[in-house]
Structure 1
Amino acid sequence: MPTSPGRSPGRSPARRAAAVLAPPAAVAAAHIAPAATWLPVVRRRLPRLAGVGRPGHVALTFDDGPDPGSTPCFLDALEALGVRATFFVLGDSVVRHPSVVRETVRRGHELAVHGWSHDRPWRPAPADDVRALLRAAGAVRELTGRYPRWYRPPYGVLTSGRWAAARAAGLRPVLWTAWGRDWTAGATPASVCSAVAAGLRGGGTVLLHDTDRMSAPGCWRAALGALPGIVDGCRDAGLSVGPLAEHEVPPAVPRSRSR
């Protein structure tokens, strides 16, 4: 039986459409596959990515700032506790609130990159990923004179494109081993302390948020109120608390870019 020009025998329109769509789908799957990096299995198999450091230390980290309405409250609370931390900042907020950035560094805290904006990277855009991280890291360096070392992707979604972008920008991806679930409307200081304690061990990295920009309004107060309990709990367990710079997480990304 003859076939129409350009049509392969034995293939229905549905099968031909599937064949055309298969390559983009495969690309998307490869792009999103590393996004499961927040799963507990990563903490066992990729401890450096999870932020596991020396056993006697806990790294305290904050995401989504800077925020002039809330970040200074955290700076005051940390100073009262005698603790320094790592703040994963968004580039678009850095350029809007430079005084908060400078004050964070002046008080001895470490700045890291959380991206340029808090978007969801479901579609591959490798060139955009590189530009965004370079732009965010450059904004931090311009304000502080220091090039950041760490990168944590929004939502903990570390796609293949963002992993490659981190390498291109000379940034070390790091996630967390314990979080306070402080972004929810029902969060309280007690619930945040309990959530952190459930997942925290020596050598772990704690994730909190110093703003409600991407969370329920006012929820940052729960994280702020939980800080004394979290720090005291670590100290009672014989653990020191500080930034990732003191965590002794060995670098996994070659820092080949000139600073």
Structure 2
Amino acid sequence: MSPKSGRPWRTAAVLAPVAVAAAHIAPAATWLPGVRLPLFPRLAGLGGGRHIALTFDDGPDPESTPHFLDALDELGVRATFFLLGEHMVRHSAMVRETARRGHELAVHGWTHERPWRPAPARDAEQITRTVRALRDISGHRPHWYRPPYGILTSGRWLAARRAGLRPVLWSAWGRDWTADATPASVRARIAADLRGGGTVLLHDSDRLAAPGCWRAALGALPGLVRDCREAGLSVGPLRDHGLTPQG
């Protein structure tokens, strides 16, 4: 074989890993609102026009989650909680209490890792493991999946779909995980992006964020719900949002 004839094979060997990595991470572009909202509205959680889906990530947390459950009871609102598997098995009583109070349970993954390297087998194992743990602890089969950090890769998407889950991100968030977040800042940030049919992202835990930041989200809840109701919008979980679990 001449040197020239070997060049295509060497080029292919170099480009193949690049192509695999690109295919892996390309769906993560949906993290950007400018991509997600106009091009993938269902992934952004856009549902029924007069309904707001209220969602929480990163629990369960025995220190903070009970405060959210009490506040939601007082407001007469149910929400969807995206749970981490490693926390579920440590705090199974909190998972059952969340379900007992009428809230919807969904999958946030087993851990809260960033998925920069392709690992489809790991993605499938972790999502399946989380689905099984949630079902065994609560008796409920989950329908929704939100990847940690909102980073949806091809491996995570495929693993979720094979597990019978529909990926859902959000259309409005409160940036409530930051050290300088306040109830007023969280409420204002959500209000800037909130429209009928939107999905709101908040967090009921500070394990992966600034210590104590969950209090900003908690403090914003009454005003947020009041804003929605004054605008003629109902607030509830994703199951009431007009999205089909496997659509």
Query: What TM-score, normalized to structure 1?
Result: 0.91
2:170 aligned partner, one-letter code:
W
Corresponding position of 1:114? 108
5+ unaligned residues in a row in structure 1: which ranges?
A: 1-5, 254-259
Code of the aligned partner of 2:56 = F
Preserved CA contact (<8 Å) 1:57 1:240: yes
Q: CA deviation at 1:252?
A: 3.7
Aligned residues: 246
Correspondence 1:8 to 2:33: no
1:7 to partner: Cα distance: 6.8
C-alpha contact (below 8 Å) 1:58/1:205 kept by paired residues: yes
RMSD: 1.7
Corresponding residue for residue 239 of structure 1: 233
State the shift of 1:39 in Å: 1.8
Mapping 1:89-238, distance limit 5 Å: 89-238=83-232
Instruction: Say which of 14, 17, 28 aligns to 1:24.
Output: 17
5+ residue gaps, structure 2, are none
Equivalent residue letter for 1:117: T
Alignment partners' CA distance in 2, 1:159 and 1:147: 23
Deviations 1:26-70 (A, max 9, x none): 100110000011222321122111111111100000000000010
15-24 vs 162-171, which moves further: 15-24
Cα shift at 1:127 = 1.0
- 1:155, distance to aligned residue in structure 2 (A): 0.7
Task: Calculate the TM-score normalised by the size of structure 2.
Answer: 0.95
Does structure 1 retain, via aligned residues, the 8 Å contact 2:107–2:146?
yes
Identity of aligned residues (%): 67
Q: In 1, are the aligned partners of 2:88 and 2:133 still within 8 Å (CA)?
A: yes
- Would the aligned equivalents of 2:165 and 2:245 in 1 still touch at CA under 8 Å? no
Distance 2:231 2:208 in 1: 32
Query: Which of 20, 41, 44 is the aligned partner of 1:47?
Result: 41
The structure with more radius of gyration:
1
Q: Alignment partner of 1:47: what SS?
A: coil
